[in-house]
Amino acid sequence: MASRVALKTKSKGAKGGAKPADERSAVKCLKEWSTWTIKKAKVITHYGFIPMVIIIGMSSEPRPSISQLLSPI
C-alpha cells in the first residue's frame, strides 16, 4: 500500500487572502524563469545582432563589401 503525504496550509481566518504554498512556489518559479530568460535573450541579442546584419547584408543583391556593411554612412 502506498503512503500519501498531505501538505497542510495555514489559513488566515475568514479573510481567505492566503495563497496555498503550491501557488507561491509556482509564482516564484515563474518569476525566476522569466528573469533567467530575459537575461539570456539580452546576451544573445547583444552578441548576435551585428553578425546577423552582416550575414543578411552579404546575401542580398547587389552584394556589398564588408566595409560598406560596417560603415554608418
Distance CA 59, CA 63 (A): 7
Nearest to 20 by CA among 5, 29, 8: 8
> Between these two residues, 18 and 73, which has the higher pLDDT value?
73
pLDDT at 11: 54
Distance CA 17, CA 24 (A): 13
Q: Is the dihedral of CA 29, 31, 35, 38 positive or negative?
A: positive
* Model pLDDT for residues 29-64, shown as the tens digit of each residue: 999 999 999 999 999 999 998 888 888 888 888 888
pLDDT at 67: 84
Question: Could you tell me how many residues make up the chain?
Answer: 73
pLDDT at 17: 55
E strands within the chain? none
